[in-house]
């Protein structure tokens, strides 16, 4: 297993070195909008503790993280009046992982609407901020 690299982009977001459109924060967890959304409302939930992915995460960290994933999934569903919510998490490049700090994708889904490609185009930040306000209002 490759060691955790504290220089990854989500560690920089946690350190405040690069901006993000934040949705929720507590002592252990941060949620923010994905900059390359696969559908409106695509967000990410990350632990503040560093792990490369699920495989090396401390179970105690996971036990605090998953209730926040659930909270954000419910808020995203309500905010976007979604028919369902896709929750995804990739481990290592072979599984599609591109950022090596544990994160859960939360994506509102609507019947018959396909997902856009993973890590496709960058979204307009003002649009992400408007979507974030809707999700925060549903929290």
**Chain residues that interact with ligand AMP, rule: CB under 6 A:** 9, 20, 34-36, 44, 90, 96-99, 119
Closest CB to ligand AMP among residues 30, 82: 30
Shortest distance, CB of residue 111 to ligand AMP, whole angstroms? Answer: 23
Shortest distance, CB of residue 42 to ligand AMP, whole angstroms? Answer: 7
Q: Is 103 a catalytic residue?
A: yes
Q: Which of 42, 101, 103, 105 is catalytic?
A: 103
Distance separating alpha carbons of residues 41 and 127, to the nearest angstrom: 10
Shortest distance, CB of residue 41 to ligand AMP, whole angstroms? Answer: 13
Residue indicated by tokens 């002592």: 27
Closest CB to ligand AMP among residues 11, 82: 11
Shortest distance, CB of residue 89 to ligand AMP, whole angstroms? Answer: 7
Distance separating alpha carbons of residues 133 and 127, to the nearest angstrom: 10
- Closest by CA to 65, choosing from 35, 40, 45, 41, is 45
Distance separating alpha carbons of residues 20 and 8, to the nearest angstrom: 14
Closest CB to ligand AMP among residues 13, 75: 13
Closest CB to ligand AMP among residues 88, 113: 88
- Closest by CA to 65, choosing from 11, 34, 103, is 103
Whether residue 38 contacts residue 118, with contact meaning beta carbons closer than 8 Å, is answered with yes
Catalytic residues: 103
């Amino acid at each position: 297993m490759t060691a955790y690299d504290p220089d990854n982009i989500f560690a920089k977001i946690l350190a405040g070195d690069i901006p993000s459109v934040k949705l929720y924060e507590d002592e252990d967890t941060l949620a923010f909008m994905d900059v390359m959304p696969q559908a409106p409302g695509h967000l990410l939930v990350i632990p503040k503790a560093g792990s490369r992915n699920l495989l090396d995460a401390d179970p105690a960290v996971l036990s605090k993280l998953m209730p926040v994933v659930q909270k954000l999934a419910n808020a995203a569903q309500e905010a976007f009046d979604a028919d369902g919510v896709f929750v995804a998490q990739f481990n290592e490049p072979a599984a599609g992982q591109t950022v090596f700090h544990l994160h859960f994708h939360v994506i509102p889904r609507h019947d018959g609407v396909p997902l856009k490609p993973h890590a496709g185009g960058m979204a307009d930040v003002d649009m992400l901020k408007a979507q974030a306000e809707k999700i925060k209002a549903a929290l």
